[in-house]
Amino acid sequence: MTKAEAMEALTPVFREVFDDDSIELSDDLTAADVDGWDSVEHFNLISEIESRFGMRFKMKEVSGMKNVGELAEIVADRAKI
């Protein structure tokens, strides 16, 4: 999977988790840019991504991600869809 494909596949996950169909993903998108993206919703987002893509994140990956671009790179590398 390419990073672009990962971004496309992640978009509906973000829209569902945050209940916002207007969310547009970009490499530099962060939690500060999305209403309601707090620590609880971050956990929900990560859990949903792991479930949908058949993967598991390491704790240091979750805590070290700076933006959606980094998330998409990890998904592109390891997703099982």
Q: How far, CA to CA in Å, does 50 sit from each of 32, 57, 62, 63, 74?
A: 22, 7, 11, 15, 11
Instruction: Please state the pTM of the whole predicted model.
Output: 0.91
Q: What is residue 64's predicted lDDT score, i.e. its pLDDT?
A: 86
Reported as a single tens digit per residue, the pLDDT across 12-60 is 999 999 999 999 999 999 999 999 999 899 999 999 999 999 999 999 9
Q: What is residue 81's predicted lDDT score, i.e. its pLDDT?
A: 62
Q: What is residue 3's predicted lDDT score, i.e. its pLDDT?
A: 95
d(CA 55, CA 33): 25
79 pLDDT band, cuts 50/70/90, is: confident
- Indicate the domain borders of the chain: 3-78
Q: What is residue 21's predicted lDDT score, i.e. its pLDDT?
A: 96
d(CA 80, CA 9): 12
> At 21, is the secondary structure helix, strand, or coil?
coil
Q: Which CATH architecture has domain 3-78?
A: Orthogonal Bundle (1.10)
- Residue 72's CB is within 10 A of a number of other CB atoms, namely 26
